[in-house]
């Protein structure tokens, strides 16, 4: 088991379509995108990908890459918090709904059934403790009067030129700039021997989009994975998840289950480099509260009915569940 901390050396572009001619950007990297980047790195560095992923089996499971600030790890907020969490908000349901990320200390408190103190960043989107805020402030050293921001979203204009007519067209794309001492983290379980060689390649090649102009470059630091396994009990999902069996599908209908779905599309290439749109799939999103037994699978999204060049090998998106114990997060709704 291993945990990796990524320090971004440039802007990150993980595109999210929001409208015609416009993209937003995410401040995290979904597990299926991270897995795809690792597989691409293997292919570029001579690893036998077909043998590594034989019969649709992965040697490891991994989390999505979540925000990290001055050593403070953040986790996805579940779509439903337990009733006792409302005490920190004086039953302010609107404030509860703003929360996107929970710090390590806040998550530990909620899992143990304790009410964390009320301290927030990014307009209420990040819930952390006073001690963690001080730790981050000491590292970032914000100037007086400026908000403490761990990252900034930017929308930048770009131009595409038609190859036939040379006509230009304006569009906008998003990117995320992380503050100094901030970045991303992810963890992996299983045989992780091939992860670090892939990261050595990717740290210069980049993660996400717009890599040709330097986006996505990073440095990384490995450490021990201290995340406990769910061991069959109620779980908090830290990856995207593709339920496969009837039992897994029934688990989504359990009374205290809470989840959102993410539609995952995109592009892939055949052996000649021809681009093809992948088959879209819906995956259970990070932060879901699930009963025990969630495993998931690699999902083959290779397009069908197209003039695919070369061997018809599968194109996988990772839907393997990475979970930790939910503890008292599994309790009933916050009012």
Most confident of 11-25, 54-68, 80-94: 54-68
Query: Is residue 335 a part of any domain in this protein?
Result: no
List the domain range (segments joined by +) for residue 25. Answer: 2-330
pLDDT of 335 > 60? The answer is: no
Choose among 17, 13, 81, 33: nearest CA to 316: 33
Report the chain's C-alpha Rg in angstroms: 20
For the chain, how many residues are written? 335
Does residue 97 lie within any of the structural domains? yes
CA distance 289 to 262: 15
Whether residue 99 lies inside any domain: the answer is yes
pLDDT digits (tens, 9 = 90+) for 93-126: 788 889 999 999 999 999 999 988 889 999 899 9
Band (pLDDT 50/70/90 cuts) for residue 18 is: very low
Tokens read off for 113: 């059934």
Residues 133, 142 contacting (CB under 8 angstroms): no
Residue 237 tokens read as 């999902």
**What does the alpha-carbon distance between residue 277 and residue 114 come to, in Å, rounded to a whole number?**
47
Whether residue 141 is contained in a domain is answered as: yes
The total of structural domains in the chain comes to 1
Q: Give the whole-angstrom CA distance, residue 119 versus residue 130.
A: 6
Pair 148, 121: CB distance under 8 Å: yes
Q: Burial of 202 by CB count in 10 Å (0-12 exposed, 13-18 middle, 19+ buried)? A: buried
Beta strands in 133-230 (DSSP E): 151-161, 168-178, 182-190, 218-223
Q: Identify whether 246 is part of a domain.
A: yes
63-77 tens-digit pLDDT: 999 999 999 999 999
Using CA atoms, how far apart are residues 266 and 208, in angstroms rounded to an integer?
A: 12
Q: What's the predicted TM-score (pTM) here?
A: 0.90
- 272 vs 147, which has greater pLDDT? 147
Tokens of 285: 């999103």
- What CA–CA distance (Å, rounded) separates 106 from 56? 36
Question: Assign residue 134 a region: left if phi > 0, alpha if psi is -120 to 50, beta otherwise?
Answer: alpha
Task: Give the span between the Cα atoms of 187 and 177, in whole angstroms.
Answer: 22
In three-state secondary structure terms, 41 is helix
């Amino acid at each position: 088991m291993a945990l990796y901390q990524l320090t971004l050396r440039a802007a990150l572009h993980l595109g999210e379509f929001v409208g015609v001619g416009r993209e937003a950007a995410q401040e995290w990297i979904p597990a299926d995108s991270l897995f795809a980047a690792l597989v691409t790195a293997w292919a570029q560095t001579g690893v036998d990908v077909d043998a590594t992923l034989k019969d649709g089996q992965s040697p490891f499971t991994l989390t999505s890459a979540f925000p990290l600030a001055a050593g403070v790890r953040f986790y996805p907020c579940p779509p439903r918090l337990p009733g006792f969490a409302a005490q920190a908000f004086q039953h302010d349901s609107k404030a509860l709904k703003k929360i996107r990320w929970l710090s390590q200390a806040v998550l530990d408190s909620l899992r143990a059934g304790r009410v964390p103190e009320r301290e927030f960043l990014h307009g209420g989107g990040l819930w952390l403790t006073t001690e963690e805020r001080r730790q981050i402030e000491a590292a970032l050293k914000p100037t007086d009067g400026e908000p403490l921001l761990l990252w900034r979203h930017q929308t930048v204009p770009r131009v595409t030129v038609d190859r036939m007519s040379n006509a230009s067209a304006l569009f906008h794309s998003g990117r995320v700039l992380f503050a100094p001492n901030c970045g991303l983290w992810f963890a992996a379980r299983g045989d992780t021997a091939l992860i670090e060689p892939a990261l050595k390649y990717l740290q210069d090649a980049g993660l996400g989009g717009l890599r040709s102009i330097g986006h996505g470059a990073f440095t990384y630091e490995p450490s021990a994975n201290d995340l406990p396994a769910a061991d069959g009990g109620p779980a908090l999902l830290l990856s995207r998840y593709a339920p496969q069996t009837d039992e897994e599908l029934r688990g989504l209908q359990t009374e205290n289950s809470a989840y959102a779905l993410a539609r995952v599309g995109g592009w892939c290439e055949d052996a000649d480099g021809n681009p093809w749109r992948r088959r879209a799939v819906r995956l259970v999103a990070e932060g879901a509260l699930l009963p025990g037994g969630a495993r998931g699978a690699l999902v083959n999204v290779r397009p069908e009915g197209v003039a695919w060049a070369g061997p018809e090998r599968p194109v996988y998106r990772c839907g393997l569940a990475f979970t930790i114990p939910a503890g008292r997060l599994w309790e009933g709704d916050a009012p």
